Structure 1
Amino acid sequence: MVPILILAAGQGRRLGRVKALAPWKEGTLLDDALYRGRQASGCLVAAVGAGESLVRSRTGQRPTYWCPVPDWHEGQSRSLQAGLRTLSMKGFWSGALVMLVDQPLIPASHLQALVSQAGKVPDEAVGTCAGNRCMAPAYLPRGLWPRVFQLEGDRGAGGILNALGAKGLECEAAAQDIDTRAELLAARHRERGG
């Protein structure tokens, strides 16, 4: 099994609310990420930081493990590192699929394809391609984790994936994350087929 780590610790300053709790469909962005993730894996870790107790109480879907990120304000690198540490404490994994809470337009079928690819070649990184960039969601094999633990600030593993020339599965929806209220409204419109 390939575990999925959902990074959902950000404050969402430009969005005007804790990003994980932004309304999406019948729940929140985190509810939706957990729902889609569950269609690809039986092990889900939700890394939460800003408004942690509120996020836990208002999230209807439940991860396998909650992962508190006390230093979430230092950037995405801290959420990623905390999540991988949590997975390391819960068992031995060949790697983990990392997804972001603010990419709700990525279909569950894309997550399933990434998990399938990781199952075939567990020692190779595979990301999502949108345009000319490799990005999350991405499978990070355990051999890359030491490099992830060296990241600082608001950086994810995209730079590592691109430097390696990692294989990527195409998904244009990955380029549309949600950072502002206007982007949230546009994503809702697109999700409804508008």
Structure 2
Amino acid sequence: MLNFEDTNWFKRSLKFFILSLAITIISFVLTLIVNPSIDTFKNIARKVPDSVTQAQGLEKVWEYIVHNAAMVPFQMLLLAFIPIPFFYCLNYITTSALLGVICSIAIQIDLHKGISMIISTIPHHFLELFAMCIVVSSLFKLNQSIVRKITNFFRQDKKQNYSFKTACMNLMKSYLLIALPLYILAAFTETYVSNFIYEILQ
């Protein structure tokens, strides 16, 4: 079932993951330099849906799954149908950058609590980011197949088309068999493990 016709999808996922970590680190450092006010942190926090912030236990797990594993990938999928390379990476880039910004502001507000927050959130952030990178990696081929068909229409020298059907099948496999389980694991980790680690560090 894990037989992908796109043999480079996992290597590409790792490259996207490394890039996401680089974006997070850069945004973290830049935020330290800029030193924004606490109001910036509050404004970012307000963007989190109330259904997520107010939920508890399994209800919170479910809200995380709906938001992170369903809504966000669906938005990325819609953007992938636009024949602009990497336009579908908007969510991926903003998520990576916001993580660095939030961690940086948290440290500036309270060094000890900020470090505790960063350490406690590392497990679920890694799982969530890698799941997102797997989706992005599959969308890369889906978008490429669309762009290639359009550009070939105007070319005299035709480039080899990548099968849209194959790209869709690989996307479904990678999402259902790998990304979705990682998103679910990340939701449980964020709800239960992160709080446990944070309390230990206090």
TM range (shorter): under 0.3
- Between Structure 1 and Structure 2, which shows a larger proportion of helix residues? 2
Q: Which has the larger radius of gyration?
A: 2
